[in-house]
């Protein structure tokens, strides 16, 4: 039986980041800005657990990697919960700060959230049966698109001197995750 605790890990990390931002920053706008940044950052490791689960089993077949793959659905729902908190923090920050956003800057993230919520809503055996091959297509497209948004966002932080160090760490993590996926894909291809 799958354990649902990863949902609470994802949600708990984001709520802790949200609360920390609002408690340590005396300025309301900066508090929400901190919360928006850190809810995104704590979501990345949860996302990477989902993104890497099947690849890690292929490359490192062991009890821990099989457990991660077994609970991948719950890690995915934990990431959806985590990033929903991030969305609330981000929207709140943008509203109270008056920071202008162009439609062009909102579309990529909007597509990521549309895919995220669609994947969360179809994370059941019944949805898998109902959608057939389209379920795999949706989840493959969604996970790679969300990876791309994390990567591009991280690259943007590298270009900002004030955010360079966290950006470099995030770029390294996302590229390492992609390298693991490519290595697993190559191993699978070589085995067939």
Average pLDDT over residues 141-147: 98
Predicted confidence band of residue 2 (pLDDT cuts 50, 70, 90): low
Supply the pLDDT for residue 104. Answer: 86
Predicted confidence band of residue 1 (pLDDT cuts 50, 70, 90): very low
Other CB atoms within 10 A of residue 127 CB: 15
Q: What is the mean pLDDT of the chain?
A: 94
Predicted confidence band of residue 99 (pLDDT cuts 50, 70, 90): confident
Cα–Cα distances in angstroms (integers) from residue 59 to residues 36, 53, 72, 81, in the given order: 34, 10, 16, 28
Residue 45 CA to its chain's centroid (Å): 7
- Two tokens at 8? 């609470």
In 3D, which of 126, 51, 46, 42 has the Cα closest to residue 89? Answer: 42
Specify the pTM: 0.93
112 pLDDT higher than 90: yes
> What is the DSSP annotation of 116-154?
HHHHHHT-SHHHHHHHTHHHHHHHHHHHHHHHHHHHHHH
Burial 106-125 (b: 16+ CB within 10 A, else e): eeeeeebbebbeebbebbee
Cα–Cα distances in angstroms (integers) from residue 185 to residues 66, 142, 173, in the given order: 17, 18, 18
Instruction: Determine the Cα–Cα distance for residues 140 and 54; give it in Å rounded to an integer.
Output: 12
Predicted confidence band of residue 101 (pLDDT cuts 50, 70, 90): confident
């Amino acid at each position: 039986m799958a354990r649902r605790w990863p949902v609470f890990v994802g949600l708990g990390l984001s709520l802790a980041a949200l609360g920390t931002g609002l408690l340590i920053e005396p300025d309301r706008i900066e508090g929400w800005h901190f919360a928006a940044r850190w809810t995104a950052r704590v979501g990345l490791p949860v996302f990477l657990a989902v993104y890497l689960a099947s690849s890690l089993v292929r490359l490192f077949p062991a009890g821990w990697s099989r457990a991660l793959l077994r609970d991948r659905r719950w890690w995915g729902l934990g990431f959806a919960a985590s990033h929903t908190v991030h969305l609330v923090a981000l929207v709140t920050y943008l509203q109270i700060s008056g920071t202008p956003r162009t439609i062009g800057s909102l579309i990529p993230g909007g597509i990521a959230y549309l895919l995220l919520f669609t994947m969360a809503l179809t994370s059941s055996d019944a949805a898998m049966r109902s959608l057939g091959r389209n379920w795999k297509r949706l989840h493959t497209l969604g996970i790679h698109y969300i990876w791309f948004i994390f990567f591009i966002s991280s690259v943007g932080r590298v270009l900002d001197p004030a955010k360079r160090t966290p950006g470099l760490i995030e770029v390294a993590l996302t590229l390492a995750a992609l390298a693991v996926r490519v290595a697993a894909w190559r191993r699978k291809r070589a085995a067939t």
